[in-house]
Amino acid sequence: MTSTANGEPSSSSPEPPWLALPREVSDILRPRMPGIVEAIIAAVPQLVPAYARPIEGRFGRGLRRGVAAALDRFLQLPGTRLPALSDESRQLVAGLGSGEFRQGRSMDALLSAYRMGARVTFREMSRVSVDNHLGQSVVVDLGESILAYIDELSAVSAEAYAFEQSERAGAVDRRRTGLLELLLLGQADEAALRQTAALADWALPPVMTVVTLPVDRAAGLRLRLGPGTLVIERETDAVALIPARTTPSARADLDKALRGRGASIGPVCGWEKVPESLRLAVLAASVLEPRDDPDAPPIWADEHLAEVVLGAEPSAIAELANRRLAPLDGLRAGQRERLAETLLAWLRHWGQRAPVAAELGIHPQTVGYRAAQLRELFGETLEDPKARFELELALRAGRR
């Protein structure tokens, strides 16, 4: 209902039902208000289970004050175009809604109390109206006015409840973002982390999983990964921290949830290893081919640790390759590629011809021929364990 500057509704608003009530209704009903208040107070614990406790102390005083103020405002309305609530009563009713959230109750309890109060109020007021011979039309208008009034109370309280809920959710989100930043920095001690986690309403799990993905693919990520997930969006990426489950299906479920998002997943770790897990996830994403397919699974860093090691210091690997693979430099490109491929397979299979031939799809005699060429090029280097290891590193790096 819109209103003018003096509090009266604008001409475009529908007439309120209490305009049809005679003004003397208020004078007749006012002396009965204390009894109506007590009737409502008595009905609350009987009809609304959430309030089924003694009506005393702070709760009782607050309830009586709220009911009395609501009825007093209602008695100001008959014969007027006043809005259902004044600024003062609107603030009181809004406080009831936000208070319900802070007390941990659902809005249903307060709405039920309003409906119950409306029934008791109508029963008592209609009885007074009949006793004073005000006529059937007044009783009907009185009932319609009470319903419209209660609808307004319910709407204002529900709006305040929703606002308090969103404010709480926003505060919790901010605290959880701060908690995730602490974990990613890895600089807080356990006591500080647990205190921050408690303020963020988040239980610090024994082990957790770190996920990184492009920020433009993070929409709906928290909902997709389920309750307990912490998410922070940075300039180019988003990071999620998930309490790790140890069930056999947990890995498959997470793989499915992250498909098509270009995600990389660090090894499961305790809180103190979160920065290292994230670093491995980032490195794995950087050294492997991008996965842009809509159904592409995420990268699991713990399945690609060798590639991560090789990609962690590319300049060192390049220098190692220059040194160890120098004997191949004088060959033609095709021959160099064939011998490098054969050397890697030969090192991987410890010089056994049959597995090398099977891997490369060539005849074992061809393997023998190429192995002889390699021995001629590399000489005794192929008998040195350290050299063999470095050769394999260099060759694997070239085939990442």
The pLDDT of residue 54: 63
Antiparallel, parallel or unpaired: β 299-300 and 264-265: parallel
pTM for this model (two decimals): 0.52
Of 198, 159, 206, the C-alpha closest to 179 is 198
CATH topology of domain 17-168: Globin-like (1.10.490)
pLDDT of residue 374: 93
Tell whether domain 205-311 is in CATH 3.40.50.180. no
* DSSP reduced 3-state for 41: helix
Domain layout of the chain by residue ranges:
17-168, 205-311, 322-398
What is the structure's pLDDT at 373? Answer: 94
Instruction: Write the CB contacts of 58 (distance below 8 Å, at least 6 apart in sequence).
Output: none
**3-state DSSP percent of the chain in helix, strand and coil, to 5:** 65, 5, 25
Find, among 136, 131, 110, 129, the residue nearest to 51 by Cα: 110
Segments in the chain below pLDDT 70: 1-13, 53-60, 167, 169, 312-313, 398-400
Q: Fold identical between 17-168 and 205-311?
A: no
Judge contact between 44 and 63, C-beta under 8 A.
yes
* Residue at token pair 């590399």: 378
Q: Look at residue 83 in the predicted model and tell me its pLDDT.
A: 92
What is the predicted pLDDT for the residue at 13?
65
Q: Which of 390, 386, 238, 384 is nearest to 322 (CA)?
A: 390
Q: Hey, how many other C-beta atoms are within 10 angstroms of the C-beta on 319?
A: 12
Q: According to the model, what pLDDT value does residue 1 have?
A: 44
Residue in the structure block whose two tokens are 């003004």: 23
Report the pLDDT value the prediction gives residue 161, as an integer from 0 to 100: 85
